[in-house]
Amino acid sequence: MKLTAEELVYTHPGMREPLLNGVSLEIAPGRIAALLGRNGSGKSTLVRLLSGYLKPDSGSVTLDGRPVSEWPPAERVRRLAVVQQHVAVPLTDYTVRETVAMGLVGVSRLSGSLSPEQSDCLNHTLELLDLTELSDRLCGTLSGGERQRVFTAAALVRSPGLLLLDEPTSAADPAVTRKIVSLLRRLAPEVGILVVTHDLQLALDCAGYAMLLHDGRIAAAGNPAEILTPETLMPVYGCPFRRFDCAGRPVILPE
């Protein structure tokens, strides 16, 4: 299973300059890739293009060789799951269990009932993200970090082959962040993962590949330990960084 973007160019409606100008990347099982870049650099837009929600001005996104927007929706989401950064608050409040169950494809449309396998899968996913105790709570009563975990569970519940996560730990506390990192590491051998993040440490700790998005292009890509250096980060973020080793792990912080 493979998601490939080639020479993507995208201009927001009403804007003259393209936000993304020739971005190419590949996501495949066995690797966690991190996408970094400053605010407004087009990271979330790139995720929308990769998911097929937005159409590029030029270039292509293919899922297993077929344009992503041409896949039947149910087939597409069985292969490719996306966890958005922001999800609208629905008018109807659903419980955690209801929300995660919506991620399952093939729920009996009329009765809404789950097969025993689907039920097992749902319970396993709730457990994986520490949501079992919250399963009967209404999502409107949860914190931002808890809601983020619910939406991650809704994406993972159908066991996708590829997973795009847009800032999955932006509202998480350190313990939850650690848990999500270890979960991604566990999934990585069988699932291709792209994590969009501002957290340089997250990229250093869990990604095997990192990409720096700057001026509409991938400015640097490669092993995170090699490309996340003060020299590469300074032009992207516009501020100086310091890198040092702590207990054998590279740590990078803005000065």
Tell which one of 58, 115, 119, 141 touches another protein (CB under 8 A): 141
Residues 9-48 as x/- pattern, contact with another protein by CB under 8 A: ---------------------------------------x
Classify strands 58-63 and 209-214 as parallel, antiparallel or unpaired. unpaired
Element (H, E) at 98: helix 96-101
Nearer CB in complex with another protein: 110/246: 110
Nearer CB in complex with another protein: 158/214: 158
Tell which one of 112, 144, 222, 240 touches another protein (CB under 8 A): 112
DSSP 95: B
154 contributes a contact to another protein by CB under 8 A = yes
CB of 174 to another protein, least distance (A): 27
Distance CA 102, CA 97 (A): 9
Tell which one of 103, 168, 216, 224 touches another protein (CB under 8 A): 103
221 within 8 A of 211, measured Cβ to Cβ: yes
64 contributes a contact to another protein by CB under 8 A = no
Count of residues engaged in binding another protein, rule: CB under 8 A: 33
Nearer CB in complex with another protein: 16/109: 109
Distance CA 63, CA 56 (A): 15
169 within 8 A of 7, measured Cβ to Cβ: no
CB of 163 to another protein, least distance (A): 11
Ordered DSSP codes for 200-226: HHHHHHH-SEEEEEETTEEEEEE-HHH
Element (H, E) at 63: strand 58-63
Residues 72-101 as x/- pattern, contact with another protein by CB under 8 A: -xx-xx---xx-x--xx-xxxxxx--x---
201 within 8 A of 225, measured Cβ to Cβ: no
DSSP 170: T
221 contributes a contact to another protein by CB under 8 A = no
57 within 8 A of 138, measured Cβ to Cβ: no
Distance CA 110, CA 180 (A): 34
CB of 95 to another protein, least distance (A): 8
136 contributes a contact to another protein by CB under 8 A = yes
Nearer CB in complex with another protein: 39/92: 92
Q: Which residues contact another protein by CB under 8 A? A: 48, 51-53, 73-74, 76-77, 81-82, 84, 87-88, 90-95, 98, 102-103, 105, 107, 109-110, 112, 136, 138, 140-141, 154-155
